[in-house]
């Protein structure tokens, strides 16, 4: 990393790399609201500004250095180096769980801490040290992916009934007369699926939550 001169990168390249790094860390860079999590917890906290277009070159370097310290990778020429497939899967699922409200902190650093915790007992049992960096955990990638899927599955089973109850009591009751026949049929099917959600497979739980969230957005909840 020391060979990369971030100051010499063109402004457009700096902005592009910041956007890529933020997306990898699980932030929604398309949300232009100055009060969004990405613009407040990263950009403003580091530079006092909420947009890379408002920043000086030094500001953008500071943001890039922040992401590099949290796992973003660049080549010696300052080009983006993609994470391996298994790590992209973990980061994508971690970001999804954050967006769904199951994880407080998005991004590489939080995922790395979680992964270290998951591997503590396993590595102790096989008399191996826990890797200190997430991208050194390739040998344990399948374990971590399965652990995170199970974590997500448990969170979905717990959250689905609450989200559906909120939708029915706080949203649908105010808009029921405007509901289409198709939506009413879908909601009736949801009643049955939510009732049995504790027995539902992981992909089904994801589909049910997506359906509830979609209906809630449609009816202004």
Report DSSP state, residue 8.
Answer: G
> Can you give the residue range of the structural domain that contains 50?
1-82
Q: Which residue among 56, 82, 108 closes a domain?
A: 82
The encoded tokens of residue 65 equal: 């250095």
Q: Is residue 168 part of a domain?
A: yes
| Residue 115 burial (CB count, 10 A) | 24
pTM (2 decimals)? 0.75
Domain count, the chain: 2
96 found inside a domain: no
Q: How far is CA 123 from the centre of its chain?
A: 26
Higher pLDDT, 152 or 25: 152
Confidence of residue 178 (pLDDT cuts 50, 70, 90): low
Residue at a domain's end among 57, 82, 107? 82
Asked which of 82, 107, 138 is the last residue of a domain, the reply is 82
Q: Is 32 helix (H, G, I), strand (E, B) or coil?
A: coil
Which one is predicted more confidently, 182 or 123?
123
Residue with tokens 């063109």: 10
């Amino acid at each position: 990393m020391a060979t990369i001169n971030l100051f010499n990168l063109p402004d457009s390249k700096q902005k592009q790399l910041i956007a890529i790094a933020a997306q990898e860390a699980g932030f929604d860079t398309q949300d232009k609201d100055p009060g969004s999590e990405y613009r407040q917890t990263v950009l403003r906290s580091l530079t006092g500004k909420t947009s890379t277009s408002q920043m000086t070159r030094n500001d953008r370097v500071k943001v890039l250095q922040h992401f590099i310290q949290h796992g973003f990778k660049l080549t010696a020429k300052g080009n983006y180096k993609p994470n391996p497939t298994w790590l992209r899967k973990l980061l994508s699922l971690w970001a999804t769980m954050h967006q769904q409200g199951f994880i407080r902190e998005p991004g590489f650093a939080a995922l790395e801490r979680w992964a270290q915790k998951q591997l503590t007992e396993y590595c102790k049992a096989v008399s191996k040290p826990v890797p200190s960096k997430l991208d050194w955990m390739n040998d344990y990638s399948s374990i971590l992916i399965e652990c995170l899927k199970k974590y997500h599955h448990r969170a979905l089973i717990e959250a689905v009934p609450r989200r559906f109850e909120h939708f029915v009591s706080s949203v649908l009751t105010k808009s029921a007369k405007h509901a289409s026949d198709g939506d009413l049929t879908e909601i009736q099917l949801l009643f049955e699926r939510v009732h049995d959600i504790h027995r539902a497979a992981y992909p089904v739980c994801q589909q049910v939550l997506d359906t509830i969230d979609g209906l809630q957005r449609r009816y202004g909840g």
